[in-house]
Amino acid sequence: MSDRPLLVAIDTATRFAGLALFDGETVLSASSWRSYRNHSVELMPQLVRMVAQQRMDAADISAVAVTIGPGSFTGLRIGLSVAKGLASARDIPVLGVPTLDAMAFQHAEQRRPIWAGIQAGRGRFCVAYYARRRGRWRQHGDIHLTTVEGFVELINRRCLITGEFSQREIDYIADHTDEELQFAIPSQSMRRPSCVAELAWRRFARGESDDLEALSPIYIHPELS
């Protein structure tokens, strides 16, 4: 048994999946991998293995965090299903974390504004703009569902761009805007489940949680972007 509360973070928002264990001070374990539409098969064995490696078990888990979107319909559904199942079985809090919030959070030392993006299929992306306010990243404006061409039209100031962009897409963005851009390197662009855990822990430490039944995915539809 752990002598500290233990939070498990689950991220299945896109083809990249991740898990992390966090006790409020230390990321005890974290794992990220590219899942080829096998979230339902891979997630629980990975989680069981991770907890066992820390010589813990399900009884040690005090809270569950999960990315709630935007992202793929199937991935989000699987992640939420597992998170809610754990929370219900253990009678512990569940905390939803917007996918793009976690991506912005992992650039905590960055000073310039951020555009964070994830693949949305059929050549489209979900992107959101973040700026620092009172020492924290805050989303400004809506989440946009757009193409790389449409994304270029949204960029109107110097910024950092991070997320699931291929080198071809990065080159296109750089070649079609006059703004001063910085692109996150690959290791900084991949979502970190440890950031999902830290964001959720802030709420957990304040005694907050989400309603188990009401917590639902953030889906972005073309007519709403």
- Please report, in tens digits, the pLDDT of each residue of the chain (225 residues total): 557 899 999 999 999 999 999 999 999 999 999 987 788 899 999 999 999 999 999 999 999 999 999 999 999 999 999 999 999 999 999 999 999 999 999 998 888 999 999 999 899 999 999 998 877 889 999 999 999 999 999 999 999 999 999 999 999 999 999 999 999 999 999 999 999 999 999 999 999 999 999 999 999 876 433
pLDDT, tens digit, 9 for 90 and up, residues 109-156? 888 999 999 999 899 999 999 998 877 889 999 999 999 999 999 999
pLDDT of residue 36: 78
Count CB neighbours of 121 within 10 A.
11
For residue 115, count CB atoms less than 10 angstroms from its CB and return exposed for 0-12, middle for 13-18, buried for 19 or more.
buried
Give the model's pLDDT for residue 110.
Answer: 85
Distances (CA, A) of 39 to 19, 33, 42, 43, 94: 12, 10, 5, 6, 19
**Smallest Cα–Cα separation from 46: which of 62, 35, 59?**
35
Q: With beta carbons less than 8 A apart as the criterion, state whether 116 and 128 touch.
A: yes
The CA dihedral of 82, 83, 89, 95, to the nearest 10 degrees, is -170
Predicted confidence at residue 2, as pLDDT, reads 57
CB 142 within 8 A of CB 158: no
Tokens standing for residue 143: 């989440």
What pLDDT does residue 211 have?
Answer: 98
Domains of the chain, each with CATH number or no CATH: 6-99+192-224 (3.30.420.40), 100-189 (3.30.420.40)
